[in-house]
Structure 1
Amino acid sequence: MEKPVHHFTELFEQLGLPADEASIRSFIEHHAPLPETMQLHEAPFWSESQSAFIFDALEEDADWAEVVDHLDASLRKT
């Protein structure tokens, strides 16, 4: 059984964030770059539930893991 494919906008919706292109770009520009030593779920701008969702997605290699990895990479670019 294949895992569902989630889009970047869907991840932002799941996190309760504005999901239009301009809002996503603004979020990334505002919060990047994350320090290399900081895990994505540890970033100080997440709520407790957002952090838990991100942690669980990666820890369990859930169907959200690929798009969470994309967000992580986007927040590490300078």
Structure 2
Amino acid sequence: MEHPDHPFSELFEQLGLASEPAAIQRFIERHSPLPENVELPDAPCWNEGQAEFLREALEADADWAEVVDHLNALLRKG
């Protein structure tokens, strides 16, 4: 099954967040580093719907999984 490529900004749109490059950068700076013992969907920066979307994307290896993994990696950097 081929997974469509989603731009990083589209993930932010899907999450209901500002998707301009500067807004994405501010979000990442504001919420990182995410502790290693906290799963991405469990981070305090998400509301219930956002957390559920992220959890489903990762668990189902959905077409969003790659870009969600990228977000996870960026939030782990300090």
- Give the TM-score of the pair, scaled to structure 1: 0.98
Q: Note the residue ranges of structure 1 that are not aligned, 5 or more in a row.
A: none
SS in 1 for 2:54: helix
Corresponding position of 2:5: 5
Q: Which runs of 5+ in 2 are unaligned?
A: none
In the other structure, the counterpart of 1:63 is 63
Deviations 1:21-46 (A, max 9, x none): 00000000000000000000000110
C-alpha distance after superposition, 1:6-59 (max 9, x if no partner): 010000000000000000000000000000000000001101000000000000
Partner of 2:32: 32
Distance in 1 of aligned mates of 2:55 and 2:49: 10
Q: Percent identity?
A: 62
**4+ long deviations beyond 6 Å:** none
Corresponding pairs, count: 78
| Map of 2:46 onto structure 1 | 46
RMSD: 0.6
